[in-house]
Amino acid sequence: MAQTIREVMTEGLLTCPPSASVTDVAKQMKEGNTGGIVVVEGGELHGLVTDRDIVVRTVAAGEDPGATQAGDICTSELHTLSPDDSAEDAVDLLREHDVRRIPVVDGDRPVGIVTIGDLAIARDEKSALADISAASPNN
């Protein structure tokens, strides 16, 4: 039986407004043990900031993380899924667009996120990627 996104997605999103400083976003990532924060404005999806965005678009670009806003470095042209889409739809999007995370939206409202790790666990919980994704942080 095909799994829906609702069955594999991570709920309880960590979010920030576009005006949040990159420093605050990085702290939120550390506290939440995540590599991506959903940028929300007025309850609607505005973008996604990843740890890589912080490194490449802020630090490597010589920008001040305390003065740079999440809305300035987030990816705003996102591919999204609905909770009723299939896990296979997510796999197809990950492959097609070479991304690691896909926001899940109900209308324009973010309700979750699906990561490559979530799908690895759902598809083959004995795989190496599933083991790594399910493991407790070791840092």
Domain assignment of residue 36, yes or no: yes
Domain assignment of residue 88, yes or no: yes
Tens digit of pLDDT at every position of the chain (139 positions)? 458 999 999 988 899 999 999 999 999 999 999 999 999 999 999 999 999 999 999 999 999 999 999 999 999 999 999 999 998 899 899 889 989 999 999 988 999 999 988 888 776 555 444 344 444 443 3
Domain assignment of residue 112, yes or no: yes
If one counts the domains in the chain, the total is 1
No. of helices (H) and no. of strands (E), the chain? 7, 5
Domain span at residue 110 reads: 5-134
Q: What CATH number is given to the structural domain containing 79?
A: 3.10.580.10
Domain assignment of residue 139, yes or no: no
Domain assignment of residue 47, yes or no: yes
Distance of alpha carbon 86 from alpha carbon 92, whole angstroms: 10
113, 79 in Cβ contact below 8 A? no
Distance of alpha carbon 62 from alpha carbon 51, whole angstroms: 16
- Can you give the pTM of this predicted structure? 0.84
128, 116 in Cβ contact below 8 A? no
139 burial type by CB count under 10 A (0-12 exposed, 13-18 middle, 19+ buried): exposed
Domain assignment of residue 97, yes or no: yes
Domain assignment of residue 73, yes or no: yes
61, 94 in Cβ contact below 8 A? no
Domain assignment of residue 117, yes or no: yes
